[in-house]
Amino acid sequence: MSKINKCLFPAAGYGTRFLPATKAMPKEMLPVLTKPLIQYGVEEAIKAGINTMGIITGRGKRAIEDHFDISYELEHQIKGTSKEHLLNDIRDVIDGCTFSYTRQNHMRGLGHAILCGETLIGQESFAVLLADDLCHNKEGNTVLSQMVKVYEKYKCSVVAIEEVPADEIHKYGVIKADELETNIYRVSDMVEKPSREDAPSNMAIIGRYILTPDIFDILRDTKPGKAGEIQITDALLTQAKKGKVIAYKFDGKRFDCGSVDGFIEATNYFYNHSKES
């Protein structure tokens, strides 16, 4: 199993918590300051040495494809003006990566979305990044970069985890695990969105995964679980039982930009950070 070269971005969800803003605009395009969430995700993947991006889209998501493409009209208008530098980051992203898209045409859960990405990944280990979990590390050592290092050591699937308060545990996949070394755990159980009483711990999975390619066959055999959807958490539990899955308590901050509160918190944090640097 070699280097991680590809990252999947499941982006077919409706973003109902942000209606009406997300009625005609993908939730992944909501900006924190001036940058859409999905661009933060792509930049995080690039910092982890990845330059092949696979995006799982759906109806009404074309703005994502346009964002990661050249806008000749805009380039023409802005060239030589004082605003041109505002396009520097996105130009670098477009020049440095390839983007491929496939559609998830039924909403059957995150596991199903990842399975739809098989055609973009093939038989190699890959990263998965959920753009509404926005992560930041002050030293620039991104969560995905940290996870790639863990993967290189353990050569198995890796999930990022964070301790969350008891009243929020029902929003996440939750693990039970034994500590192998500081911040690195071997998973023995995993439950998707348990009640507070049934949660095996307070360690929640956040939207960063590195998956080995056998996950696709496992997902094909995974029955619908919580909410009648195919859950990546259930597939990972199968993988953990057959072999090994590592949970990694990352170094950095994470914002749940899938919720209005988390989005506002992220906006304030990034604004203050931009003033400091």
Q: Whole-number minimum distance, CB 50 to ligand G1P, in Å?
A: 20
Q: Does 233 bind ligand G1P (CB under 6 A)?
A: yes
Q: Which of residues 109-138 bind ligand G1P (CB under 6 A)?
A: 110, 130, 133
Taking the least distance from each CB to ligand G1P, the nearer of 44 and 192 is 192
Between the alpha carbon of residue 217 and those of residues 191, 210, 237, the distances in Å are 20, 16, 14
Stretch 183-202: interaction string toward ligand G1P, x if CB under 6 A:
---------x----------
**Residue 4 and residue 154: Cα distance in Å, rounded?**
13
Beta carbons of 116 and 8 less than 8 angstroms apart: no
Task: List, in order, residues 6 or more apart from 53 with CB less than 8 Å away.
Answer: 6, 7, 9, 42, 45, 68, 97, 98, 99, 100
**Residue 273 and residue 207: Cα distance in Å, rounded?**
22
Taking the least distance from each CB to ligand G1P, the nearer of 16 and 272 is 16
Taking the least distance from each CB to ligand G1P, the nearer of 53 and 161 is 161
Q: Does 204 bind ligand G1P (CB under 6 A)?
A: yes
Q: Whole-number minimum distance, CB 180 to ligand G1P, in Å?
A: 21
Q: Does 205 bind ligand G1P (CB under 6 A)?
A: yes
Q: Whole-number minimum distance, CB 265 to ligand G1P, in Å?
A: 15
Read off the tokens for 184. Answer: 């690195």
Q: Does 172 bind ligand G1P (CB under 6 A)?
A: yes
Sole binder of ligand G1P in the list 115, 150, 206, 266 (CB under 6 A): 206
Residue 58's φ and ψ, nearest 5 degrees, are -155, -170
Give the helix ranges, DSSP H, for 127-259.
143-154, 215-221, 232-242
Residues of the shown chain interacting with ligand G1P in the complex, contacts defined by CB under 6 A = 110, 130, 133, 172-173, 192, 204-207, 231, 233, 258
